[in-house]
Amino acid sequence: MILDVDSTLCGVEGIDWLARRCGAHVADQTARLTERAMNGEIPLESVYGERLSLIRPTLRDIAALSEEYVRTLATRAPEVIAQLRAAGVAVVLVSGGIRKAIEPVALHLGLARDDLFAVELQWNAEGEYTGYDTESSLTSQRGKLEVVQRLSLHPPCLAVGDGSTDAAMRPAVDAFAAYTGFAHRDAVVARADFTIGNYDELARRVLAPTS
């Protein structure tokens, strides 16, 4: 199973949360760009670097975001992920978010570092932002699809997410579920095989006996 992170596993859009630490003007600009990208109105690659250039997150900002990810974990997500893994379901996190912020969340859930795919940022010795991995496919609209295709996960494989970049994974998986527990995007729901509103519902879907 493939899980998105922002607004799927955790109730925060990381880049927008970081932007709010920079003041109302940067927050408004960033939120508009994020929402247009998640709705599929504009490709992610057209805004990825622009948002980071506006925010320029420091290492201290990233540490604070990581704490927020853990604080806003979806209700019952840790228990359900443990239940799925105990039943033999492989769980992989695929995110266009910042790897250094998400990795502690993955470890908190008992996942390995290799179970997380996200974007690397760079900082200088003072912890100031200097750039990001421009070669990462996860900074593009179809990047998650490319990552999943490279993973060659055993079927049946379900992808779960709330945004257009998540829906783009559909050709590489057996089903795509739109997660609506934090955000309901009509354009994403329309492309989904079904919707999921909470993690107990996810467990029922994944672990349902087949006839």
Q: Which domains, and CATH codes, for the chain?
A: 2-207 (3.40.50.1000)
Confidence band, pLDDT 50/70/90 cuts, at residue 210: low
Within 10 Å of residue 171's Cβ, how many Cβ atoms? 10
Please write the tens of the pLDDT for every residue from 135-181.
Answer: 999 999 899 999 999 998 888 999 999 999 999 999 999 999 999 99
Lowest mean pLDDT among 34-48, 52-66, 187-201: 34-48
- The overall average pLDDT reported for the chain is 95
The answer to whether 138 and 163 have CB atoms below 8 angstroms apart is no
* Planar angle of CA 158, 71, 108, nearest 5 degrees: 60
Q: 3-state DSSP call for residue 12? A: coil
Using the predicted structure, report yes or no on whether residue 211 has a pLDDT greater than 50: no
171 closest CA partner among 190, 202, 196, 144: 144
User: Which pLDDT score is estimated for 9?
Assistant: 98
How confident is the model over 20-43, as a mean pLDDT?
Answer: 90
DSSP label of 11: S
The pLDDT confidence band at residue 37, using thresholds 50, 70 and 90, is confident
Is 50 exceeded by the pLDDT of residue 120? yes
pLDDT over 90 percentage in the chain = 87
- Average pLDDT score over residue span 80-86: 97
Q: Would the pTM of this model clear 0.85, i.e. be above it?
A: yes
Q: Give, in degrees to the nearest 5, the angle at Cα 151 between 120 and 142.
A: 60
The residues that are catalytic are 4, 6
Omega of the bond leading into 156 within 30 degrees of 0 (cis) = yes
